[in-house]
Amino acid sequence: MRAKLLAVVSAAAFLSACANMNIPGVRDMADEGSAFDAALHQNYADLAQAEYDEADWADARYFTNRSKTAAMGMDSGPQAIAERNLPEGSEAEVEVARSDLMAALEAGGREKAASAAARAQSSFDCWLQELEENIQQEDIDNCRSAFYQALAIVQAELDTGPAPMAAMPMPVPMNVYFGFDSAAIDSKAMSVVNGIVEAYGKYDPKMISLVAYADRAGDAMYNDILAKSRVDAVVKALRDAGVPASKLAISISGEANVPVSTADGVPEQGNRVVTVTFEDGM
């Protein structure tokens, strides 16, 4: 009887959690605000779906509501840091990050770089949420990486001072992180890929270098194959978005020369990555 009662209670809780989350319906809402609001609308819907798929009902509901208010042109800005219980030692970086984001938004970033500004804000909120959860390092890294690269695009767009032709520096390398033993690009890693595509359009690099890694857990040959599958997934996503194959230079490092040095057999999230670097050809 107790087991049946618990099952009924769990089912009721599940139905209650889902009742207020019509994510497809919110995604299809008509946009009433700016281009920035419209981009936020879809970005928050993506985050809501990602959290729903992980059975994180509270955050799925939170991002669904953010998506809804963005569609209505009533966005309230990046989430306040105090609203999340962050791990000790993480507050200093996110405080500076939020300050930089707010400065860029208030300087006209919403209007001058609507798509990148929306991705910066939604990625910042994603970063806070993943930090509070603090159980999926790859998701923390993906959201953080997506935030910084989107913010860099906004800041570059706001820099309207005269500059010599062909003197604009290439952006810092961008990292697409993967789950353990996986070559699938999830929704949060896809945000990083989308940022790479947008940066490609802005910077027009001569070449894009992609280096694929795997951590040192498991067989070295298998890890080479896994690293290749990861870079193949990133290449496909970039090509599907219009980046020409002739611009892409691929190398497979596997578990050799990994970004984070570890002993053999040690799993390490920082090494389950494809690093993307823009080259100016000079």
Identify the residue with better confidence: 170 or 213: 213
Count how many Cα atoms sit within 13 Å of the Cα of residue 114 in the half-sphere of its side chain. Answer: 12
Spatial contact of 56 and 133, defined as CB atoms under 8 Å apart: yes
Position 11 scores a pLDDT of 41
Please answer whether residues 234 and 176 qualify as being in contact, where contact means their C-beta atoms are separated by less than 8 angstroms. Answer: yes
20, 22, 23, 28 alpha-carbon torsion, rounded to 10°: -130
**21-25, 99-103, 195-199, 201-205: which is most confident:** 99-103
Q: HEC states along the chain?
A: CHHHHHHHHHHHHHHHHHHCCCHHHHHCCCCCCCHHHHHHHHHHHHHHHHHHHCCCHHHHHHHHHHHHHHHCCCCCCCCCHHHCCCCCCCHHHHHHHHHHHHHHHHHHHHHHCHHHHHHHHHHHHHHHHHHHHCCCHHHHHHHHHHHHHHHHHHHHHHCCCCCCCCCCCCCCCEEEECCCCCCCCCHHHHHHHHHHHHHHHHHCCCEEEEEEECCCCCCHHHHHHHHHHHHHHHHHHHHHCCCCHHHEEEEEEECCCCCCCCCCCCCCHHHCEEEEEEECCC
What local confidence, expressed as pLDDT, does residue 160 receive?
53
Angle at 109 between CA 133 and CA 94, to 5 degrees: 25
For residues 151 and 138, give the distance between their C-alpha atoms in angstroms, rounded to a whole number.
Answer: 20
Name the nearest CA neighbour of 104 among 125, 126, 77: 77
The span from the CA of 171 to the CA of 206, in Å, is 13
Domain covering 165-282, topology: 60s Ribosomal Protein L30; Chain: A; (3.30.1330)
Nearest to 112 by CA among 157, 150, 162: 157
Q: Which residues contact 214 (CB under 8 A, 6 or more apart)?
A: 223, 224, 226, 227, 230, 254, 255, 258, 271, 272
Which residue type occupies 116? A
Residue 191 pLDDT? 85
Confidence at residue 168, expressed as pLDDT on a 0 to 100 scale? 55
Work out whether strand 248-254 and strand 174-177 pair parallel, antiparallel, or are unpaired: unpaired
Per-residue pLDDT tens digits for 201-246: 888 899 999 999 999 998 999 999 999 999 999 999 999 999 999 9
Output the six-digit token pair for 261.
């040095």
Q: What angle do CA 177, 178, 181 make, to 5 degrees?
A: 150
Among the residue ranges 91-100, 152-161, 172-181, 240-249, the one predicted with the least confidence is 152-161
Residue ranges, CATH 3.30.1330.60, the chain? 165-282
- Residue 155, Cβ neighbours under 10 Å: how many? 18
If you average pLDDT over residues 27-35, what whole number do you get? Answer: 95
User: What is the structure's pLDDT at 16?
Assistant: 45
